[in-house]
């Protein structure tokens, strides 16, 4: 009898319920297809993201599918004590060539955030192999100083005002070869979120925008991969088990190895690596640890007299608890950036260190129309900078002119605070988010930074977005590096830099799979810093204003895809009586990324950029003729330059085009790509110098000398999965 009752219980249908939401915005997703693998059973989520199914007792593989999201599979045992909570990550809807996700599936619907997937990052031409940082420069909100510098200037902000996070870890120097290309291997990334302004209270401690990178996790059916390019060789390996997985990747240049086999010498190499380990401890608990390393080393000759090395080391551990409407997470980070240089021949020595130990905890509640996010953070930073110039003046070449020949600096800084964010869907057409961030340091200085965002959907017309917020920053570099030089190290500030920003945007879908977006923004920087002329590293403080307009047109489906944009911007800094545009003030820029599908397995990508010239400071405003007494009844005429106003001049306009061709076969497991940079072979200036020369017998005048930009650079690469 008991056996019959048990069989009846197993045969009796049990209720399986669940809730689907967007992993990034945490809003419910409707019309998600819920399928039970191996059966014809299925359903779709309702307008609030909920679903229910009647199933017999047993184990099932549940699959959640939506055209705008990555598919998720999950093993469940029916009956379940708690409803399923499934988070879906947005995906790009485009054919090859487009960089931005569908306007209807924005990474964060209440901000101007853009989601970049690995495939979209692969489609942007770069030096040698795909480069996420160079791909971001094709967005209208970003400018760079020149071809040799990869520092991101976002909407008029300095490079030190941009936040770059990898798995929640702030990366201080995300470049190889001092900015020529990025330190992130695109094969090790799951996606990248770009925010031109910090509208969410979760992110802070920077004045400008943010690039949020997520590392790749092990996937079901994932394969090992190898990539051999003209720049480096890389590989990745992953293994997925029932409740966890591990993903490993590594990349290294090979020029020095090949040169040694040919009995030649190349004194430079770099390598980087990623680790992503995850383990589900129970249906509600999971543990994750991630790591990132990158190192560059230059040894000018075979001897031991000279060595220049810089590196990042970063590791994080997180513990997360999650149920139907609740999520709690704790994360601990360790981050270190180090520069070591030594030349025994002239006693040059550099030892720079920036180390961070941080913790952040988050708690989130999500209901049908409301979500609340709150959290706290604490970090301790150690700044240690030491260098001795020795017998030469190499520091001017390594850093920039004006740094002291001998310098020893040690400081510590402790930052802590919290944030809260309330999101409410007021109406089917209106969503409002109100948040605030508390940021303070050990001496008691504290700031409340409010942030507000709203979205209004106008049926059959488009959607409007509004945002306002304040941001603060407790570090400053103060001066940019030029060409391939390193910029100033970051220093802690007793009083933070502060800025207020506001944006208004309109977005509309057009016929023919086109999308149109226009956004206007303004930023008022209450406190901006620059390094003083004496007593390094004393800072001078001033104010700044930035106003801009961005227009973006995209076509995301079909055999032809495009991303075309215009950005107009004006930035001014004021220090006392002096007002001038910063070095990265690009008044007008046009950018385009075009993709064409040439059959099923061939794609062609073409990128072009044009912008008006960047500001620069001439060496001298004019050269008055003066007479001076040398003694013993001797006089001399000479020309003495008068310093020119800061950034009075403008460089020539910048224009370049790049090309990328991809061919896939073997069901996409083999791929060959050809890249050609600077197709126009345009003479874009990388550097301007002012030198003196004599005209005739006595006249002495300044002469502006420009060094040409990168030459035509072709490269070939091969990708293989096995």
114 with 185, same domain?
yes
Q: Assess whether 116 and 168 both reside in one domain.
A: yes
Assigned domain for 652 exists: no
Q: If you write DSSP's letter for every residue of 168-216 in order, what string do you get?
A: TEEPS--EEGGGTEES--GGGEEEEEEESS--STTS-S-SS-EEEEEEP
Q: Is residue 380 part of a domain?
A: no
For residue 333, the number of C-alpha atoms closer than 13 Å in the C-beta half-sphere is 23
Higher pLDDT, 101 or 569: 569
Give dist(CA 20, CA 28) in Å, integer: 6
Residues 56 and 130 in one domain: no
What mean pLDDT comes out for the span 300-310? 76
- Domain shared by 182 and 138, yes or no: yes
Residue 193 is assigned to a structural domain of this protein:
yes
pLDDT bucket at 304, cuts 50 / 70 / 90? low
Same domain flag for 70 and 115: no
Identify the domain boundary among 26, 60, 88.
Answer: 88
Quote the DSSP letter at residue 641. Answer: P
Contact 486, 338 (CB under 8 A): no
Q: In the prediction, which pLDDT does 626 show? A: 66
C-alpha distances (whole Å) from 271 to each of 266, 274, 467 are 15, 11, 40
Label the pairing between strands 634-639 and 189-195: unpaired
Environment class of 199 (CB within 10 Å of its CB; exposed 0-12, middle 13-18, buried 19+): buried
- Distance in angstroms (rounded) separating the CA atoms of residues 521 and 549: 6
Residue 98: what pLDDT? 31
Token pair for residue 65?
């599918």
Rounded Cα distance between 139 and 593, Å, is: 10
Q: Do 125 and 152 share a structural domain?
A: yes
- Cis peptide preceding 79, ω within 30 of 0: yes
Could you tell me which of 576, 609, 584 has the C-alpha nearest to residue 594? 609
Position 193 pLDDT exceeds 90: no
Q: What is the pLDDT of residue 74?
A: 85
CB contact set of 633 (below 8 Å; sequence gap of 6+): none
Banded pLDDT at 118 (limits 50, 70, 90): low
* Residues 473 and 206: beta-carbon distance below 8 Å: yes
**Residue 623 confidence (pLDDT):** 61
Distance CA 606, CA 658 (A): 6
CA distance 591 to 607: 8
Domain identity same for 154 and 197 = yes
Give 541: exposed, middle or buried? Use CB within 10 Å, 0-12, 13-18, 19+: middle
Backbone angles phi, psi at 92, to 5 degrees: -75, 135
Q: For residue 427, tell me if it sits in a domain.
A: no
Locate tokens 């013993």: which residue?
Answer: 632
**DSSP string for 654-666:** EEEEEEEEEEEET
Among the residues of 390-540, which ranges form H helices? 394-398
- Mean pLDDT to the nearest integer, 399-410: 73
Alpha-carbon separation of residue 444 from 70, 338, 392, 441 (angstroms): 45, 29, 43, 6
CA 421 – CA 381 distance, rounded (Å):
26
Note whether 326 and 287 are within 8 A (CB). no
| Inter-residue long-range contacts of 457-462, CB under 8 Å, 24+ positions, other chains counted | 457/428, 457/429, 457/430, 458/429, 459/429, 461/508, 462/506, 462/507, 462/508, 462/509
pLDDT at 117: 66
Lowest mean pLDDT among 57-61, 95-99, 143-147, 397-401: 95-99
Residue 111 sits in the same domain as residue 201: yes
Q: What is the maximum alpha-carbon separation in the chain?
A: 130
Q: Give the sign of the dihedral formed by CA 700, CA 706, CA 707, CA 711.
A: negative
pLDDT at residue 173 greater than cutoff 60: yes
For the segment 570-580, what is each residue's pLDDT rounded down to a tens digit? 999 999 889 99
Cβ count within 10 A of residue 139: 23
Tell whether 150 and 198 lie within a shared domain: yes
The pLDDT score that the predictor gives to residue 184 is 93
Average pLDDT, the chain: 82
pLDDT band at 434 (very low <50, low <70, confident <90, very high): very high
Q: Would you call 549 helix, strand, or coil by DSSP?
A: strand
- Structurally, how many domains does the chain consist of? 2
Q: How far apart are CA 143 and CA 567, in angstroms?
A: 10
Given this model, what pLDDT does residue 696 score? 43
Rounded-to-integer distance, Cα 196 and Cα 208, Å: 7
Distance CA 585, CA 573 (A): 10
Residue 58's closest CA among 73, 36, 40?
Answer: 36
Looking at the fold, whether 22 and 80 belong to one and the same domain comes out as yes
Residue 148 placed within a domain: yes
Peptide bond into 537 cis (omega under 30): yes
SS3 of 119, please?
helix
The pLDDT confidence band at residue 704, using thresholds 50, 70 and 90, is low
Same domain, 122 and 202: yes
Residue 101's pLDDT band, with cuts at 50, 70 and 90, is very low
Q: Which of 264-268, 530-534, 625-629 has the lowest mean pLDDT?
A: 625-629
Pair of tokens at residue 141: 């909100």
Give the integer Cα–Cα distance in Å for 266 and 268: 6
SS3 of 333-402? EEEEEEEEEEECCCCEEEEEEEEEEEEEEEEEEECCCEEEEEEEEEEEEEEEEEEECCCCCHHHHHCCCC
CATH number of the structural domain spanning residue 111: 2.170.130.10
Lowest mean pLDDT among 216-230, 330-344, 619-633: 619-633
Tokens 């620059």 — which residue? 530
Task: Give the mean pLDDT of 201-226.
Answer: 87
Out of 53, 88, 123, pick the residue that ends a domain: 88
Q: Is 132 exposed, middle or buried (0-12, 13-18, 19+ CB in 10 A)?
A: buried
Is residue 55 exposed (0-12), middle (13-18) or buried (19+ Cβ within 10 Å)? Answer: middle
Q: Is the dihedral of CA 458, 553, 26, 38 positive or negative?
A: positive
Q: Rounded to 5 degrees, what are φ and ψ at 369?
A: -120, 0
The residue-averaged pLDDT of 103-113 equals 44
Q: 464 pLDDT exceeds 70? A: yes
- What is each CA distance from 28 to 24, 63, 421, in whole angstroms? 11, 17, 17
- Which residue segment(s) compose the domain that 176 sits in? 103-214
Residue 512: the pLDDT is 82
- How confident is the model over 242-269, as pLDDT tens digits? 888 999 999 999 888 888 888 888 889 9
Residue 245 lies in a domain: no
Segment among 33-37, 44-48, 244-248, 662-666 with least mean pLDDT: 44-48
The closest of 668, 594, 709, 664 to 125, measured between CA atoms, is 594
Q: Does 313 score more than 60 pLDDT? A: yes
Beta bridge partners of 603: 597, 662
Cα separations in angstroms, 475 against 99, 314, 553: 32, 19, 36
Inform me whether the pLDDT recorded for 4 exceeds 70. Answer: no
Residue 594 belongs to a domain: no
pLDDT for the residue 252: 95
DSSP letter, residue 642: B
CA 384 from centroid of its chain's CA atoms: 26
Does residue 187 carry a pLDDT above 90? no
Please write the tens of the pLDDT for every residue from 467-507.
999 999 999 886 654 444 455 688 999 889 999 999 999 98
What single-letter DSSP state applies at residue 491?
A: E
> Could you report the per-residue pLDDT of 646-691, keeping only the tens digit for each?
888 787 788 889 999 989 887 778 889 999 988 887 777 666 555 5
Residue with more model confidence, 128 or 6? 128
Domain boundary among 65, 88, 111: 88
For residues 170 and 114, state if they share a domain: yes
pLDDT, residue 129, reads: 84
Asked whether the beta carbons of 434 and 454 are under 8 A apart, the reply is no
Q: Any idea what the CATH number is for the domain that residue 33 is in?
A: 2.60.40.1120
Q: What's the CA gap between 37 and 562, in Å, rounded? A: 37
3-state secondary structure of 6: helix
Give domain status of residue 372, yes or no.
no
Task: Let me know: does 573 contact 615? Beta carbons within 8 Å.
Answer: no
């Amino acid at each position: 009898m008991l056996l019959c009752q048990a069989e009846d219980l197993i045969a009796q249908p049990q209720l399986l319920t669940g809730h689907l939401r967007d992993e990034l915005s945490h809003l419910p997703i409707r019309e998600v297809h819920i399928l039970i693998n191996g059966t014809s059973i299925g359903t779709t989520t309702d307008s609030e993201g909920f679903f229910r199914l009647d199933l017999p007792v047993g184990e099932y593989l549940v699959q959640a599918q939506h055209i705008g999201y990555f598919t998720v599979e999950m093993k469940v045992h029916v009956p379940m004590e708690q409803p399923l909570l499934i988070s879906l990550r947005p995906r790009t809807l485009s054919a090859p060539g487009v960089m931005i996700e569908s306007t209807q599936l924005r990474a964060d619907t209440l901000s101007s955030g853009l989601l970049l997937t690995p495939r979209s990052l692969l489609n942007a031409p770069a030096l040698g192999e795909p480069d996420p940082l160079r791909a971001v420069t094709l967005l209208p909100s970003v400018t760079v100083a020149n071809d040799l510098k990869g520092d991101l200037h976002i909407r008029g902000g300095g490079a030190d005002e941009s936040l770059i996070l990898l798995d929640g870890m702030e990366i201080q120097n995300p470049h190889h070869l001092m900015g020529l290309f990025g330190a992130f291997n695109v094969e090790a990334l799951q996606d990248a979120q770009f925010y031109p302004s910090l509208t969410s209270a979760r992110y802070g401690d920077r004045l400008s925008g943010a690039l949020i990178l997520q590392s790749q996790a092990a996937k079901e059916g994932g394969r090992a991969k190898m990539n051999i390019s003209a720049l480096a060789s890389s590989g990745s390996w992953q293994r997925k088990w029932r409740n966890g997985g591990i993903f490993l990747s590594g990349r290294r240049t090979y020029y020095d190895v090949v040169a040694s086999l040919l009995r030649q010498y190349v004194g430079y190499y770099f390598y980087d690596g990623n680790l992503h380990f995850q383990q589900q401890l129970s249906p509600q608990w999971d543990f994750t640890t991630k790591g990132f390393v990158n190192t560059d080393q230059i040894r000018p000759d075979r001897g031991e007299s000279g060595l220049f090395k810089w590196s990042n080391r970063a590791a994080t551990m997180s513990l997360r608890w999650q149920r139907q409407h609740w999520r709690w997470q704790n994360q601990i980070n360790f981050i270190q950036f180090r520069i070591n240089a030594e030349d025994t021949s002239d006693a040059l020595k550099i030892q720079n260190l920036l180390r961070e130990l941080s913790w952040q905890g988050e708690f989130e509640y999500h209901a049908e129309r409301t979500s609340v996010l709150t959290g706290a953070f604490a970090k301790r930073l150690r700044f240690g900078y030491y260098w001795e110039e020795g017998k030469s003046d190499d520091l001017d070449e390594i850093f920039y002119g004006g740094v002291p020949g001998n310098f020893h600096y040690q400081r510590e800084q402790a930052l802590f605070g919290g944030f809260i964010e309330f999101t409410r869907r007021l109406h089917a057409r209106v969503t409002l988010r109100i948040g605030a961030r508390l940021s303070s340091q050990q001496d008691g200085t504290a700031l409340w930074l409010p942030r507000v965002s709203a979205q209004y959907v106008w049926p059959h017309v488009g959607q409007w977005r509004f945002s306002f917020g304040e941001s603060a920053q407790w570090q400053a570099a103060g001066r940019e590096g030029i060409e391939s030089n390193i910029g100033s190290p970051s220093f802690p500030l007793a009083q933070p830099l502060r800025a207020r920003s506001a944006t208004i945007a309109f977005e509309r879908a057009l016929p023919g799979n086109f999308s149109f977006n226009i956004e206007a923004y303004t930023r008022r920087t209450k406190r901006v810093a620059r390094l003083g002329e004496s007593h390094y590293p004393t800072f001078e403080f001033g104010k700044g204003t930035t106003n801009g307009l961005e227009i973006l047109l995209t076509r995301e489906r079909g055999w032809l895809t495009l991303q075309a944009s215009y950005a107009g911007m004006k930035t001014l800094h004021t220090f006392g009586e002096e007002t001038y545009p910063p070095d990265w003030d690009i008044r007008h820029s046009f950018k385009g990324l075009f993709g064409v599908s040439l059959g099923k397995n061939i794609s062609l990508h073409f990128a072009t950029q044009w912008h008006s010239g960047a500001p620069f400071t001439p060496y001298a405003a004019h050269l008055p003729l003066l007479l001076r007494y040398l003694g013993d009844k001797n006089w001399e005429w000479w020309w003495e330059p008068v310093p020119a106003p800061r950034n009075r001049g403008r460089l020539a306009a910048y224009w370049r085009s790049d090309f990328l061709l991809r061919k896939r076969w073997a069901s996409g497991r083999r791929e060959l790509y050809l890249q050609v940079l600077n197709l126009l072979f345009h003479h874009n200036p990388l550097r301007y110098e002012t030198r003196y020369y004599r005209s005739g017998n006595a006249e002495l005048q300044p002469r502006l000398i420009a060094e040409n930009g990168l030459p035509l650079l072709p490269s070939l690469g091969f990708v293989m999965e096995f």
